[in-house]
Amino acid sequence: MPLTDVQIKQLQPREKPYKRFDGGGLYIEVFPDGAKRWRYKYRFGGKEKRIALGVYPTVSLKEARNRHAEARGHHTAGLDPAEVKKAAVAARAGVNSFSAIALEWHAKFSPTWSESHTAKLLGRLKLHILPWLGHRPVAEITAPELLSLVRRIEEKGHLETAHRTLELCGQVLRYAVQTGRAERNCAADLKGAIPPAQKKHFAAIIDPVEMGHLLRAIDGYSGHFPTVCGLRLAPLLFMRPGELRLLEWKQVDFARQELRLPVEHMKRLQTEKNAGRGDIAHIVPLSSQAIEILQALHPLTGGGRYVFPGLRSKDRPMSNATLLNALRRMGYTGEEMTVHGFRHMASTHLHSLGYPTLIIEKQMSHADRNKIRAVYNHAEYLPERRKMMQEWADYLDRLREDARMKTGA
């Protein structure tokens, strides 16, 4: 039951401290000397933690509940209330903590990132950085301190995560320098301090016979119809998985037989790491086979925003794991095939079929590093790309038919 002021006033000291809970982890602790202190108990990172919210009656029941609600809000948002409190204390003292700067940086730039990238960076901050550096004045953080942080991750066998964590620390510290809260970015001193991570390639099937079997397996997949359509379009369009799942019906131009991805769509998929490559509107010519799939799907999802809406909400796109999970249910492991692997599949065979690298790269939407030139090149080589996309779809049909003839199905 929630506490009342009358009940709190009647609480008498005992030989040992004792507690009375108000709800949601908020409680008041009565000490042998008669002091009554507010506390908030919660769990973070798998551990039980608590923070002080003030002393009664200086902090009334109403004020304690307000402070509890604020702390609980931070906890719900995925932040450690204790670290937030430390950062606030440091800020009031005129000290800029790493936590305060990091969260300020994240809030400032996250509107330009994709939802998944925004969540990924916040998760990395909370899991790998803030518990150790959050309370530290940003101007006092040293290179050995950062090295200790990333080596802790490296020793667990997560070398790529260690590199990304160091990169993230560097971005926050660079922002601190730019805004006058620190004099230098000590992360730059750690270049080469940890071994390079081995580059991982997306698994892809590139053997023509196996490609035919994969296409046949996709045709026979009996999952959710939009998922089936997504799987059938993936090899035809060889778009990035994020581009495909975020596709909107307003970007499908049946008259022109093409997808027209505006600058805003491409920006949504960018991360800070590649943001400098240019905000490029991209055109994807549609083969007759792709048109047929989209027309079959339109009566089901055409009334909404997304071509591939989520199962739980039609106002959100399908999960980034939906198509990958479908491949797994079809029996293809992570070492055999990925959704991104359709791009590698297309690139490999289009080169072997004699198409120029320039045309293939343009269709892959590999951005021109000259930003001004890139903005105006979205329709470059469009007739050649249109021909290539149709011939690629016809080639896949031949592989599918070969597989059918060999299996007799």
Kindly state the tokens that stand for 235: 């090899």
Among 201, 314, 366, 371, the active-site one is 366
Q: Are 376 and 280 in contact (CB under 8 A)?
A: no
DSSP per-residue string spanning 236-295: HH---HHHHHT-BGGGEETTTTEEEE-HHHHHHT--GGGGGG----EEEE--HHHHHHHH
Kindly state the tokens that stand for 199: 């580059």
Is 376 a residue of the active site? yes
343-346: long-range contacts at Cβ-Cβ below 8 A with a sequence spacing of 24 or more? 343/202, 343/204, 343/238, 343/239, 343/240, 344/201, 344/202, 344/204, 344/206, 345/204, 345/205, 345/206, 345/211, 345/235, 345/238, 346/235, 346/238, 346/392
Q: Which of 361, 367, 395, 353 is nearest to 381 (CA)?
A: 361
Is 224 a residue of the active site? no
Is 366 a residue of the active site? yes
- Vertex 327: Cα angle to 160 and 124 (nearest 5): 25
Is 85 a residue of the active site? no
Among 136, 340, 385, 400, the active-site one is 340
Contacts (Cβ under 8 Å, ≥6 apart) of 45: 80, 127, 131
Is 306 a residue of the active site? no
Q: Are 230 and 308 in contact (CB under 8 A)?
A: yes
Kindly state the tokens that stand for 391: 């011939």
Among 72, 158, 240, 277, the active-site one is 240
C-alpha atoms less than 13 angstroms from C-alpha of 189 in its C-beta half-sphere: 11
DSSP per-residue string spanning 40-55: EEEEETTEEEEEEEEE
CA pair distance 38, 26, nearest whole angstrom: 7
Among 68, 164, 216, 343, the active-site one is 343
Q: Are 100 and 119 in contact (CB under 8 A)?
A: no
Is 108 a residue of the active site? no
Contacts (Cβ under 8 Å, ≥6 apart) of 363: 238, 284, 385, 388, 389
CA pair distance 73, 76, nearest whole angstrom: 5
Among 201, 305, 329, 376, the active-site one is 376
What is the set of active-site residues?
Answer: 240, 267, 340, 343, 366, 376
